[in-house]
Amino acid sequence: MALAMWMLMSVAMMLPATVPVLEHVGMNSLRRCQQRAMATFAAVFLAVWIGYGALLMGLAPLWSTLPDGVALASALALAAVWQLTVHKRRALRDCHRASPLPLSGWPAVAGAGRFGLRQGGACLRSCWALMLIMAVASGGRGELSWMALLTGIVTTEKLVRKPHRLTEVAAAVLAATAVTVALTSGIA
């Protein structure tokens, strides 16, 4: 059940950021192959996120025993730091890279699958810390608010041409939120 919820959440959070990439796959496929290529891309892309969700669910007992707010404040702080790293910038740059795709037949399907894996991997490298926040906040108060905030960050980073400035702003918001969660939970 938890994995099904993670799948639904992944679709809801990642789909807005993935629309331009899906359009790229569709526009670079012959008309008769567009739907299959786009479906293959989406399935492989989501499989990357489902795998990450399964990993997080396996690790959930590690943070579920912590006092209220500790895990969430820690995840927020970790995400704030990640936003400022060179690794985040590289992953985000890779998220913006397109790929030439074969036009038809099984090479087109395989190409869409490879592109989905590459895009999913780049997106995972870029957004793993943000989605960790969702895993930690899952089932808690304000889950939809977290989802909206993080979807906004992910989508904006993907759609903006030069997202470097945005990552800095997101880092500041995440850090301030980490401090707020820590203070309101009585951690600090």
Query: Is 158 a member of any domain?
Result: yes
Query: Is 162 a member of any domain?
Result: yes
Query: Is 188 a member of any domain?
Result: no
Total tally of structural domains belonging to the chain: 1
Nearest alpha-carbon partner for 119 in 56, 182, 35, 25: 25
Q: Determine the structural domain holding residue 157 and report its residue range.
A: 2-183
Structure confidence by residue, pLDDT tens digits, 119-129: 999 999 999 99
Structure confidence by residue, pLDDT tens digits, 63-104: 888 887 899 999 999 999 999 999 999 998 888 787 778 777
What is the pTM (predicted TM-score) of this model? Answer: 0.85
Give buried/exposed letters for 57-87 (b at 16+ CB in 10 A, else e). Answer: eeebeebeeeeebbbbbbbbbbbbebbeeee
Query: Is 178 a member of any domain?
Result: yes
